[in-house]
Amino acid sequence: GYIGSHMVHELLGAGEKVVVLDNLTTGFRFLVPPGVPLVVGSTGDRDLVARTLRHHNVTAIIHFAASIVVPDSVRDPLGYYRNNTLNTCNLVDVAIECGVRQVIFSSTAAVYGNAEHVPVREDEPTAPIAPYGTSKLMSEIMLHDAGKAHGLRFVILRYFNVAGADPKLRTGQSTPQATHLIKVACEAALGKRAKMDVFGTDYPTPDGTCVRDYIHVTDLIEAHKLLLDHLRAGGDSTTLNCAYGQGYSVRQVIDTVKAVSGVEFRVD
């Protein structure tokens, strides 16, 4: 997938041995670097996960696998709970069975819902407003309980809006029909879309459009690497936000893409 492929490149560059497990429903074989074993299957397949962990002598898991489109989770909540929550339960259960005690989990700022305070702190109450956020929060709770019961040490990273691509151009956001604002705007500038749509211009923000905090994928992956080192050094479990604390509106993003590309594409 998008973020996982960046992680694999970072780990390889650090001399790590990596194995990828992906069912390729939204991921792509071509994003896996040469020489990295790819096991095609689900995190919910207990036997496959156990064989993979044992065969490759896995000592730490970085768990990116999930469904991530919020409107889809509203239409298919049970599918999201199955893929995001139940499969995480299976993965963690088998990991503990196989002796793995270090997990980094990709969570989301969606666990906060419409947070009262901005910027959002990690101790803000969790109140997700869609099944996507709830499915991730349930997984977080499972990790906490597994930590108490089995000595599992974990890091939960609550991503805000991940953007950008590998500076060496090895990997990036490759999903067709992307819903990510920056990719959509870039596709409009490239002529791959006839136009792009802005959904709402009357929000209580300086220019009326939604404001989000974006983090570059390379910085996000650096955080994962640092926290993997933290766990290996015996560090405590922790939950952290991944963002910059600086928001940009939809209009600002679009205007920036227009300025950088020199293309005045249509926006409705």
Active site residues: 132
Q: How far apart are CA 89 and CA 94, in angstroms?
A: 9
- Kindly report the backbone phi and psi dihedral angles of residue 134, in degrees, each rounded to the nearest multiple of 5, phi listed first: -65, -40
DSSP string, the chain: -HHHHHHHHHHHHTT----EEE--SS--GGGSPTT--EEES-TT-HHHHHHHHHHTT---EEE------HHHHHH-HHHHIIIIIIHHHHHHHHHHHTT--EEEEEEEGGGG-S-SSSSPPTTSPP--SSHHHHHHHHHHHHHHHHHHHH--EEEEEEE-EEE---TTSS-----TT---HHHHHHHHHTTSSS-B----S-SSSTTSS-EEEEEEHHHHHHHHHHHHHHHHTTPPPEEEEES-S-EEEHHHHHHHHHHHHT----B-
